[in-house]
Amino acid sequence: MPATDHAVEAETERLLRALLHVDCEPGRQWNYEACRRLAPLTLEINALKKEKDAVILTHSYVAPEIIYGVGDFKGDSYFLSLKARESKAKIIVFAGVVFMGETAKILSPAATVLVPDRGSGCSLADSLTGDQLRQLKAAYPDAAVVCYINSTADVKAESDVCVTSGNVYDIIARLPQRRVLFVPDRLMGDNVRNELKRRGIDKEIITSDGTCIVHDVFDAQSVADARARFPGLRVVAHPECTPEVAAVADFVGSTGAMMKYVKNTTAPYFLMLTECGLVSRLQVEAPEKNFIGGCRLCPYMKLNSLEKIRDALVSPRPEQIITLDEDLRRRAAHSIERMFALAPADPL
> Residue 148 or 270: which CB sits closer to ligand SF4?
148
Please tell me whether residue 214 binds ligand SF4 under the rule CB under 6 A: yes
179-183 vs 161-163, strand pairing mode: unpaired
Q: Which is nearer to ligand 13P, 238 or 329 (CB)?
A: 238
Report if residue 123 touches ligand SF4, rule: CB under 6 A.
yes
Of 154 and 216, which has the nearer Cβ to ligand 13P? 216
Exposure of 322 in the CB half-sphere (CA atoms within 13 A): 32
Residue 245 binds what, of ligand 13P, ligand SF4, none (CB under 5 to 8 Å, by partner type)? Answer: none
Q: Which of 151, 165, 211, 280 binds ligand 13P (CB under 6 A)?
A: 165
Give yes or no for residue 122 binding ligand SF4 (CB under 6 A). Answer: yes
Cβ atoms of residues 94 and 113 within 8 Å = yes
Q: Does 301 bind ligand SF4 (CB under 6 A)?
A: yes
Closest to 47 measured CA to CA, from 3, 83, 94: 3
Distance between CA 346 and CA 348 in Å, rounded?
5
By CB under 6 A, the residues from 252 to 291 that bind ligand 13P are: 254-255
Of 65 and 240, nearer to ligand SF4 (C-beta) is 240
Order across the sheet with 251-252: list the strands: 251-252, 234-237, 270-273, 291-292
How far apart (Å, rounded) are the C-alpha atoms in residues 176 and 5?
62
Give the C-alpha separation, 160 to 341, whole Å: 12
Tally of residues, the chain? 348
Nearest-approach distance from CB 332 to ligand 13P, in angstroms: 17
Q: Which residues bind ligand SF4 (CB under 6 A)?
A: 97, 122-124, 150, 212-214, 240, 275, 298, 300-301
Q: Footprint of ligand 13P on this chain (CB under 6 A)?
A: 76-77, 150, 164-165, 212, 238, 240, 254-255
